[in-house]
Amino acid sequence: MTNRSTTTGTTTNSGDRTVRQKITSLRHFYVHFRRPEKAGYSGSFGFDWLRDEYVYDLFEIGVLDRSKKYLYKGNIQNLIKEYTHFKGQKISHINDIKTLNAEPYIPAWLAIFPSSKHTKHPNASSVVNANGVQLYLQIDQDDKDSAKILTDDGTELTFECSAGLKVSPEKINLAKLIEKSPTKKNLSSSHQGVSSKSFYRHLTKTAITITATDVYSEPAYIKVVANKNNLKKTVGLLMVYPNAIIPKADIRIVHFSTRAGVREVPTPPAYQDYLKKRSFNQALVRAEIKGISFFNLVDYLNEYNAKVVKGTITSEERRKLGKIKVFITKYPIGQTVPRSKGGELKKDIIALYEEFSQKYVPKGGIENPNSKITFVIFTDYLVQNTDPATSITYTTLGSAATRERGMFESLACLVADCPIIWGNAVVLFNQGNTDLSTFAHEIGHSLSLPHTFETPPNSNHTFYQGYTDNLMDYSYAPTATNNTITNPNKGYLWSLFKWQWGILRKDGSISYD
């Protein structure tokens, strides 16, 4: 549909003539809130949207012989509902945006902490999102109004915010957001029920700042309204996740060393800052280190052996010495552990730490379902294999524990498939213990997040492995020839999806005290 004009007849006060005034209608376009990608985004706030590649055939998928395919493997309508609904209820504000082709507008979601510069509420932060966050506006012309590129016709965009939100600037001319040579998008999909479309997309990336000036217990919103010649219509919407309740994730760090006299194992750079400002804060969860403890396997061995020689060892110490010897026999100091034994090593490290560090372990053990502490154990054990046929080396960077089901949980699984129950501990091995992404990825598992490529019942949503920027994806995709393709977002796997925010906040170890 091209730009249309209408004329109306009006009569002056003198009544002696009719003046015909030309009123140009508003063009049909939609405004979408977007965040920077890759190097421009560090995980400092929660932001999620329905990406084109989830719906349309844009990627060459390695496991499908590099054919063009969409990334989402499930029913696309189920995925769309994650953005158009909150707790099962449809977002009513979406109805304010009318499209020519009856395709529903799908809003993005933002999650930010309230700023302590604007409110004294206990949940307000002086560290996270205190100065707001910067997004930009993407202009998509309706595919029924893409015969001509948008031009500067005097249209102005204003922002209407619900209570507790502030946008700067408060208004912006459309001319600042359109390009002389915008991208022509031609999108097609093999998803059932999704139509192909061709339209212009404008990406000037003009920044706007959004600040949470207060708390809100229901989803908040920012509407974008187009104004011209006394005509106005809603053309964009951003939904904002409720921030009135900010739960906590308490984490204890453990250094599990096998080097005599060395207390600390290598850890990721500035990991405490990362936990607080760039990871689970996306889900409006405060992740904080609540203690650091040290366990040195060789030092305990030498101490107890010396007591044996002196004849001063107690029966309890002798029992513990026996456990250390069994452990070292199974996993010799300084030797690489094959990946097939990585899962056992994880379990045995957790069990040995529990045995020697009872003052730090909750009553009932680390895997007590009522525990509110997540244990992150850094070790210098290397878990690795080299494929003799290809000489390719494969390294296990980390592993999260799972929990055994209780009796009633097991009974429920007799009538329906049940997902994995994640435990309260993760182990980061040599090479994985210094990587921030691996660090947060494994903690994510402990907080109930499955991989993005997991299938039901472990996950309600399934994507192809190795193509998203999600924290719970992998940095590579498999191929039909057993080779791998590098994730195009490798090095920038920081984001969490909107439905993952809810999963995190419901994990049993999350505290709402």
Tens digit of pLDDT for each residue in 402-450?
A: 988 776 677 777 777 888 999 999 999 999 999 999 999 999 999 999 9
Going from the C-alpha of 264 to that of each of 274, 366, 433, the distances in angstroms are 19, 21, 12
Q: Is residue 232 part of a domain?
A: yes
Asked whether 442 and 400 are in contact (CB, 8 A), the reply is: yes
List of residues 6+ apart from 208 with CB closer than 8 A: 134, 135, 136, 137, 159, 167, 168, 169, 172
Q: Are 33 and 97 within one domain?
A: yes
> 27-70: per-residue pLDDT in tens?
999 999 999 999 999 999 999 999 999 999 999 887 665 678 99
The one-letter code for the residue type at 449 is L
pLDDT at 192: 87
CA angle 118, 122, 123 (to 5 degrees): 80
Q: Is residue 490 part of a domain?
A: no
Look up the CATH number of the domain holding residue 261: 3.40.390
Residues in the chain: 513
Domain boundary among 204, 221, 240: 240
Structural domain including 86 reads 29-240
Compute how many other C-beta atoms are within 10 angstroms of the C-beta atom of residue 144. Answer: 15
**How far is the C-alpha of 186 from the C-alpha of 199, rounded, in Å?**
7
Alpha-helical (H) ranges within 41-177 are: 52-55, 76-84
Q: Are 252 and 219 within one domain?
A: no
**How far is the C-alpha of 23 from the C-alpha of 241, rounded, in Å?**
39
Asked whether 426 and 398 are in contact (CB, 8 A), the reply is: yes
Query: Smallest Cα–Cα separation from 283: which of 463, 47, 90, 120?
Result: 47
Q: Are 103 and 223 within one domain?
A: yes
Asked whether 155 and 202 are in contact (CB, 8 A), the reply is: no
> 278-296: per-residue pLDDT in tens?
999 999 999 999 999 999 9
Alpha-helical (H) ranges within 311-426 are: 315-330, 342-356, 407-412
Burial class of residue 388 (count of CB atoms within 10 Å of its CB; 0-12, 13-18, 19+): exposed
Asked whether 376 and 253 are in contact (CB, 8 A), the reply is: yes
pLDDT at 21: 40
Q: Are 219 and 284 within one domain?
A: no
Structure tokens that stand for 202 in this block? 């404008």
Q: Is residue 279 part of a domain?
A: yes
**How far is the C-alpha of 82 from the C-alpha of 335, rounded, in Å?**
47
Q: Are 167 and 267 within one domain?
A: no
**How far is the C-alpha of 155 from the C-alpha of 182, rounded, in Å?**
18
Q: Are 290 and 408 within one domain?
A: yes
Helix/strand/coil for 424 = strand
Q: Are 62 and 46 within one domain?
A: yes
* pTM of the predicted structure, to 2 decimals: 0.92
What mean pLDDT comes out for the span 213-224?
98
Question: Dihedral sign, CA of 109, 111, 116, 121?
Answer: positive
pLDDT at 139: 97
Asked whether 438 and 491 are in contact (CB, 8 A), the reply is: no
pLDDT at 1: 36
Asked whether 397 and 274 are in contact (CB, 8 A), the reply is: no
> 352-401: per-residue pLDDT in tens?
999 999 999 999 999 998 999 999 999 999 999 998 988 889 999 999 99
Domain boundary among 240, 272, 292: 240
Domain boundary among 240, 270, 303: 240
Query: Smallest Cα–Cα separation from 235: which of 27, 47, 36, 5?
Result: 27
Label residue 483 left, alpha or beta by phi (over 0 means left) and psi (-120 to 50 means alpha). beta
Q: Is residue 228 part of a domain?
A: yes
List of residues 6+ apart from 214 with CB closer than 8 A: 114, 118, 119, 121, 163, 164
Q: Is residue 470 part of a domain?
A: no
Q: Tokens 């299938």 appear where? A: 455
What mean pLDDT comes out for the span 105-116?
98
pLDDT at 482: 72
Q: Are 321 and 444 within one domain?
A: yes
pLDDT at 15: 46
